[in-house]
């Protein structure tokens, strides 16, 4: 903490000595008390003190002095050290001088000469206390301004981050909506969080609010392939993913109106930074064409097998016929 100095200015040495003695008694050794016998000397003293890192919380100046009146001195002190409080001593009721000091130097008090020791002591104590309160308030305001500045920067950075997140989310949504396969997301509570365009086409509906994982098969009409039994909700890959599994199934079909759509579903859990599952995402692939191709391939294999069997039968018959003709020719040529 910087050392603090109270400056007393008067052109009469006896007044200065008396003033210094009374101040030392009033404020003990908490402050250094310096004296100057005129305005110019006081200004030089204050400049030196400030340059050396001292604080000057208070200056007490006489009003009537030969080279520079007190109101002019205090005005110039206010320019170089505006936080310094100013007290002016005056032996005459010079209202104009007091007004000038109040207007141009932010005069704290004026005390009539000769002063009362108790009045001087109380005024000085109040002045230095006011100085420290003002200093503390200024420091707090500076801290508050710094905090406000940092908060404004944080808010700005947060706004940029939110804008970037929104942009990324919009871009991700566009990607998901454009995917040729269905995508669905459940939150940690098993509620439907997101369904893309393709999944809406498959199920015939989008996000249905306020349902839980136990109602998924009923609401989205999922069944065991080839049956009229609803697919057990706990066995759905996306529900299994909420339990931490990477799950898949190809025995699921959706009854969407008069259409039966066979599906291949794969699901995986999504974790937060703490390792807690927050979502489960699944991909939903309409495998109608695949199933149709598999059925056609199966039919083709069956047909080919039948053709092959018929061909083998025909070849066997042909061999038998050829054998008959060979034997018949043999017997004819072997007769006498």
The residue ranges of every structural domain in the chain are: 4-142, 177-286
Give 236's contacts (C-beta < 8 A, 6+ positions apart). 213, 216, 217, 222, 249, 252, 265, 267
pLDDT at 262: 95
pLDDT at 221: 95
pLDDT at 292: 84
Sign of CA dihedral 285, 290, 295, 301: negative
- Give the span between the Cα atoms of 127 and 85, in whole angstroms: 7
- Give the span between the Cα atoms of 268 and 43, in whole angstroms: 79
- Give the span between the Cα atoms of 56 and 45, in whole angstroms: 10
Burial class (CB in 10 A: 0-12, 13-18, 19+), 224: middle
- CA–CA distances in Å: residue 75 to residues 71, 78, 89, 111, 259: 6, 5, 15, 17, 94
- Output Rg (C-alpha) for the chain, integer angstroms: 50
Which segments of the chain have a pLDDT < 70? 1, 92-94, 295, 319-320, 323-336
Give 209's contacts (C-beta < 8 A, 6+ positions apart). 191, 192
pLDDT at 2: 77
**Tens-place pLDDT, residues 25-68:** 888 778 999 999 999 999 999 999 999 999 999 999 998 898 89
pLDDT at 308: 75
- Give the span between the Cα atoms of 238 and 280, in whole angstroms: 6
Question: Which ranges of 90-206 does DSSP label H, i.e. alpha helix?
Answer: 95-105, 117-178, 197-203
Question: Which ranges of 222-287 does DSSP label H, i.e. alpha helix?
Answer: 237-241
Q: Which CATH superfamily is domain 4-142 in?
A: Response regulator (3.40.50.2300)
In CATH, the architecture of 177-286 is: 2-Layer Sandwich (3.30)
Strands, E assignment, the chain: 4-9, 32-36, 55-62, 85-90, 109-112, 182-187, 192-195, 222-224, 247-256, 259-271, 277-286
- CA–CA distances in Å: residue 279 to residues 49, 219, 222: 68, 20, 21
Model pTM? 0.52
């Amino acid at each position: 903490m910087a050392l603090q100095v109270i400056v007393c200015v008067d052109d009469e040495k006896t007044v200065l000595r008396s003033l210094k003695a009374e101040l030392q008694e009033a404020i003990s050794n908490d402050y250094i008390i310096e004296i100057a016998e005129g305005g110019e000397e006081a200004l030089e003293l204050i400049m030196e003190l400030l340059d050396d890192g001292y604080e000057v919380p208070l200056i007490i100046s006489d009003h009537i002095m030969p080279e520079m009146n007190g109101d002019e001195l205090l005005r110039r002190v206010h320019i170089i050290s505006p936080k310094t409080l100013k007290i002016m001593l005056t032996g005459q009721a010079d209202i104009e001088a007091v007004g000038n000091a109040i207007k141009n130097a932010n005069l704290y008090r004026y005390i009539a000469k000769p002063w009362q020791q108790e009045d001087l002591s109380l005024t000085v104590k109040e002045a230095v206390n006011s100085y420290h309160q003002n200093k503390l308030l200024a420091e707090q305001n500076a801290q508050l301004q710094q905090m406000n500045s940092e908060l404004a920067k944080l808010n700005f950075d947060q706004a940029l981050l939110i804008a970037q997140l929104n942009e990324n989310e919009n871009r991700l949504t566009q990607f998901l909506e454009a995917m040729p396969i269905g995508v669905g997301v459940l939150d940690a509570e098993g509620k439907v969080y997101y369904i893309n365009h393709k999944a809406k086409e498959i199920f015939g509906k989008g996000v249905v609010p306020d349902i839980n994982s136990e109602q998924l098969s009923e609401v989205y009409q999922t069944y065991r392939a080839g049956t009229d039994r609803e697919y057990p909700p706990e066995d759905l890959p996306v529900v299994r993913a909420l339990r931490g599994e990477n799950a898949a199934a190809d025995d699921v079909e959706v009854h969407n109106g008069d259409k039966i759509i066979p599906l291949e579903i794969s699901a995986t859990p999504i974790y937060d930074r703490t390792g807690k599952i927050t979502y489960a995402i699944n991909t939903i692939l309409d495998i109608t064409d695949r199933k149709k191709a598999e059925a056609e391939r199966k039919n083709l294999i069956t047909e080919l097998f039948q053709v092959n069997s018929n061909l083998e039968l025909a070849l066997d018959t042909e061999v038998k016929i050829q054998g008959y003709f060979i034997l018949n020719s043999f017997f004819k040529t072997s007769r006498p």
